[in-house]
Structure 1
Amino acid sequence: MNDTTRLAGPASRRDEATRPAGPARRRNGRTRLAGPAAVLSVVAVVALWLANGGIGPGEPLTSAGRVTGLVASDLLLLQVLLMARIPWVERAYGQDLLARRHRVIGFLSFWLMLAHVVLITAGYARTAPASVPGEAWSLVVTYPGMLLAAAGTLLLILVVVLSVRAARRRQRYETWHLLHLYAYLGVGLALPHQLWTGADFTASPLARLYWWGLYGATLAAVLAFRVALPLGRSAYHRLRVDAVVPEAPGVVSVYLRGHRLDRLPVRAGQFFLWRFLDGPGWSRAHPYTLSAAPRDNLLRITVKDLGDGSHRVGRLLPGTRVLVEGPYGTLTAERSSGRPPLLIAAGVGITTMRALLDDLGPAGTGATLLYRVRTRAEGVFRLELDDLARRHGVRIVHLEGSRPRHGSWLPAGWSAGDDAAALRRLVPDVAGREAYLCGPPPWMAAVRACLRDAGVPDDLIHSEEFAW
């Protein structure tokens, strides 16, 4: 029996043994402590500012500048912590939700930082007295750490401008990822002046303890989970490309082998950040989900050539070494409530659904898969899906057709303007099912709205986006 046949079968005994008995959704609700912790950290910062004479008889602009700077610093560090890939935080929230909160906190901290710069400069200028431009120049060239802070602020402005959705859509993934790394440098340059000259830091032992602790925890988390853990796992498991197999036009599956993959804590539906050591450009990581349940000696990913570096994957040679970061993601069988699953995929999103069918086990009984494709010939895993339908009773519906003009998630001619009614015709018992989605984000948003209209509770609709 070849590897492809094995991957088309049910989950291994290791997967069944580690599958939780009940829905993980409830457990995650009890472990989501990052949100309250973030609020408490801001409260602590404001309390320390008040304890150190925050509201006093001095210049009100300077006082306002101090508190906005302290809160901005706190949020900048929390923003880094959110994307530090801390495993228990990832499992509780999922990387897409963390990325959205990272984005919101990032913009909030950025505007607070700009308010801090303006208010402090204006406050000092009124006290001196001096002109605002003259005081700004004096602060940058005479105060310890301020030149570094000015350089860091300019880097953060650059990153924020390029993170606006309109600008980000025009960038290749590799370009945006490289530029986004400058945010770490910006944070590193912008914050130290607080340690050297900040009155709220130098005047209070408790404030020094808090800030040094937060700086230390942030640095330790980044080094441990963004550097040490990925390098350690890559060195231990020694992943290499075993084979590259065409699946459809522009789509290939990569089979990977390594050392003791049974100890790799990954489930079907999760993804890694992959770096293939095949030449220049290897340092840029790309997120690819597993397209089959992991086996003790084999992993598989399936990649579509989208031109953002993914075209190199089809040319990988057997034996190519691989570095991995992860696993990430919460779109797994752990979310199952026991209801019959409805899996809905578009395009290469079938990779995640294909892996989930392996791992759902008994919860997958009576599963229905709706697979949105332009033509059946462009579909991926045709033989494997036919095998699942024949052996495990999975009902598979190929939604063939071109994209409709009115923005429906269904192909042209399938909905007649009423997506919810069309969905009920396709899946009459849809309201009693649990849904898993994978595809382009706008498409998934349309599917989610349609499922709600068809009577599926929102907490039984599961989806996840790659966070970049």
Structure 2
Amino acid sequence: MLVHLALITWGYAGGRVTAVPGTFWTLTVDYPGMLLALAGTVCLILVVVTSVRAARSRLRHESWHLLHLYTVKDLGDGSRLVRSLRPGTRVLVEGPYGRLTARPRTRDRVALIGAGVGITPLRALAEGLPYAPGDAVLLHRGAPLFTAEFDVLARERGLQVHRLPGPRRAADSWLGDGAGPGDDRAVLLGLVPDVAQRDVYLCGPDAWSASVRRTLAAAGVPASRIHVEKFGW
């Protein structure tokens, strides 16, 4: 797109490099709608730049979130109507709702447990929640996601990260085959010995989350401190 704009300007300038700046100014200021088009182009470029993983890892969540694009799933009459919105329509966005926010938190220490793309809201919590070094621990089941971002949080804020890759070690287990010996409760307590004294945020597929909840209950975590959201798409 930028190359296209440059070539158009160069063409209007008659191929004279020295005339390009003046031609660009004339096109932008004098032609109808060009200022708005320029503003839209700048916003689009900012969205692309702030969507690059390397850039996001160096920006605060609030900085790039304001320029990010949203996807709405068709789940009913209301969400289906989003496709009929015209460009320029004012939109009011509310939330977040559910349990994966700071509102239900009761303890200084937290454990974040997610599977697959269910790690996405937990990543936002890991960035946004206040906690001292060592007071937040993350357990991620599945292929690595947001590795660079979590490495930065581990280095700068003391987030403890435990990755649990590999296929399930058993049909009734939520752990990967590299988790080591012992039942799920023993492995969990080996990774987070004080889990019963923490708030636990959990996000993943229903069956997997149910298995984690059973393990948390067996480890002594009260149901009131297990904050669950399913992540389906």
Q: TM-score, normalised by structure 1?
A: 0.32
Match for 2:226 among 451, 458, 461? 461
- Alignment-derived partner of residue 140 in structure 2: 371
Structure 2 residue corresponding to 1:393, chosen from 133, 146, 158: 158
Candidates 106, 130, 144, aligned match of 1:361: 130
Query: Hey, what's the Cα distance between the residues in 2 that align with 1:369 and 1:346?
Result: 11
Distance, in Å, in 2 between the alignment partners of 1:436 and 1:330 is 8
How far apart are the structure 1 equivalents of 2:207 and 2:120?
18
Q: Could you list the per-position Cα deviations for residues 316-351 of structure 1 after superposition, in whole angstroms to 9, with x for gaps in the alignment? A: xxxxxxxxxxxx544222222233110011111111
Q: Select the residue among 187, 202, 205 that pairs with 1:437.
A: 202
- Mapped partners of 2:99, 2:162: distance in 1: 25
| Secondary structure at the counterpart of residue 230 of structure 2 | coil
Specify whether residues 466 and 419 from structure 1 end up closer, same or farther in structure 2 by C-alpha distance, changes over 3 A only.
Answer: closer
Contact 2:167 2:177 in 1 (8 A): yes
Cα deviation, residue 232, structure 1: 9.5
Provide closer, same or farther for how the CA distance between residues 231 and 329 of structure 1 changes in structure 2, counting only shifts above 3 A.
farther
Alignment of structure 1 residues 47-58 onto 2, 5 Å? none
Verify: 1:343 aligned to 2:108, yes or no.
Answer: no
1:419-449 per-position Cα deviation (integer Å, ceiling 9, x unaligned): 1111111111111111111111111000011
Q: Specify whether residues 346 and 8 from structure 1 end up closer, same or farther in structure 2 by C-alpha distance, changes over 3 A only.
A: farther
Q: Deviations over 1:276-330 (max 9, x none)?
A: xxxxxxxxxxxxxxxxxxxxxxxxxxxxxxxxxxxxxxxxxxxxxxxxxxxx544
CA distance in 2, matches of 1:364, 1:441: 31
User: Would the aligned equivalents of 1:436 and 1:461 in 2 still touch at CA under 8 Å?
Assistant: yes
Residue 236 of structure 1 aligns with which residue? Answer: 90
How far is 1:416 from its partner?
A: 3.3
Q: Distance in 2 between matches of 1:265 and 1:233?
A: 20
Deviation (angstroms), 1:364: 8.3
**1:369 Cα offset (Å):** 0.4
Cα drift, residue 393 of structure 1? 0.5
CA distance in 2, matches of 1:335, 1:8: 29
Q: SS state of the match for residue 464, structure 1?
A: strand
Inter-partner Cα distance in structure 2 for 1:461 and 1:232: 41
> CA 1:9/1:434 → structure 2, altered by over 3 Å: closer, same or farther?
farther
The ranges of structure 1 where at least 4 consecutive aligned residues each deviate by more than 4 angstroms after the TM superposition are 6-13, 225-228, 230-234
Letter in 1 for 2:116: G
Match of 1:352 among 121, 130, 148: 121
Matched with 1:428 is 193
Shift in Å, 1:403: 1.4
Q: Could you tell me how far 1:391 is from its partner in structure 2?
A: 0.5
Long gaps (5+) in structure 2: 1-48, 66-72
Residues 352-377 of structure 1: per-residue CA shift (max 9 Å, x gap): 1111112212488621001112xxxx
Distance change (3 Å), C-alpha of 1:424 and 1:10: farther
Q: Distance in 2 between matches of 1:383 and 1:413?
A: 22
Instruction: Identify if the C-alpha distance between structure 1 residues 10 and 394 changes in structure 2 by more than 3 Å, giving closer, same or farther.
Output: farther
Flag structure 1 segments of 5+ consecutive residues without an equivalent: 16-172, 182-221, 238-262, 268-327
TM-aligned CA distance change 1:467 to 1:422, over 3 Å:
closer
Q: Which amino acid letter does the alignment assign opposite residue 408 of structure 1? A: S
1:206-355 alignment, distance < 5 Å: 235-237=89-91, 264-267=93-96, 329-355=98-124
Aligned pair in 2 of structure 1 residues 455, 266: CA closer, same or farther (>3 Å)?
Answer: same
1:405 equivalent among 166, 170, 180: 170
Could you say if the C-alpha distance between residues 413 and 365 of structure 1 is closer, same or farther in structure 2, counting changes exceeding 3 Å?
A: closer
Q: Where does residue 384 of structure 1 map in the other structure? A: 149
Distance 1:449 1:8, change over 3 A: farther
Indicate the structure (1 or 2) with the bigger Cα radius of gyration: 1
Structure richer in helix, relative to its length: 1
Given the superposition, is the C-alpha separation of residues 368 and 10 from structure 1 closer, same or farther in structure 2, using an over 3 Å criterion?
A: farther
Relative distance call for 1:385 and 1:447 in structure 2 (3 A) is: same
Of 362-371 and 339-348, deviating more is 362-371
Contact 2:134 2:160 in 1 (8 A): no
Structure 2: distance between partners of 1:442 and 1:227: 32
Deviation at 1:8? 5.5
Could you say if the C-alpha distance between residues 234 and 422 of structure 1 is closer, same or farther in structure 2, counting changes exceeding 3 Å? Answer: farther
Identity %: 40
1:26-37 correspondence runs (5 A): none
SS in 2 for 1:334: coil
3-state SS of paired residue (1:445): helix
Question: Root-mean-square deviation (CA), in Å?
Answer: 3.6
> Normalising to structure 2: TM-score of the pair?
0.61
Structure having greater relative contact order (Cα 8 Å, sep ≥ 6): 2
Counterpart position of 1:451: 216
- Describe the shift of the 1:466–1:403 C-alpha distance in structure 2 as closer, same or farther (beyond 3 A): closer
